[in-house]
Chain A
Amino acid sequence: SQKIEQNSEALNIQEGKTATLTCNYTNYSPAYLQWYRQDPGRGPVFLLLIRENEKEKRKERLKVTFDTTLKQSLFHITASQPADSATYLCALDGDKFYFGSGTKLNVKP
Chain B
Amino acid sequence: ETGVTQTPRHLVMGMTNKKSLKCEQHLGHNAMYWYKQSAKKPLELMFVYNFKEQTENNSVPSRFSPECPNSSHLFLHLHTLQPEDSALYLCASSLNGGTAPTNEQFFGPGTRLTVL
Inter-chain contact B42/A98, CB cutoff 8 Å? yes
Indicate whether A93 reaches chain B with its CB closer than 8 angstroms: yes
Inter-chain contact B40/A43, CB cutoff 8 Å? no
A1 to B107 Cα, complex, angstroms: 24
Residues in chain A near residue B35, CB distance under 8 A: 99
- Residue from the list A43, A44, A45, A93 in contact with B100, Cβ < 8 A: A93
Dominant SS at the A interface? Answer: strand
Interface residues of B in 48-107 (CB under 8 A from A): 56, 58, 90, 92, 99-102, 104-107
Residues in chain A near residue B106, CB distance under 8 A: 46
Inter-chain contact A42/B40, CB cutoff 8 Å? no
Closest to B99 in A: A96
Dominant SS at the B interface? Answer: loop
Number of interface residues of B (CB under 8 A): 24
CB distance from B90 to the nearest CB of A (A): 5
Which size bracket describes the interface of A in this complex?
20 to 34
Residues in chain A near residue B99, CB distance under 8 A: 96-97
- Residue from the list B102, B104, B112 in contact with A46, Cβ < 8 A: B104
A32 to B103 Cα, complex, angstroms: 10
Interface residues, chain A, with chain B CB atoms under 8 Å away: 4, 8, 31-32, 34, 41-46, 49, 89, 91, 93, 96-102
3 tightest A-B contacts by CB? A43-B107, A93-B100, A46-B104
Besides A43-B4, A98-B45, 17 other A-B contacts (C-beta < 8 A) = A31-B102, A34-B104, A34-B105, A41-B109, A42-B109, A42-B110, A43-B92, A44-B105, A44-B107, A89-B42, A93-B101, A96-B58, A96-B100, A97-B45, A99-B35, A99-B43, A101-B40
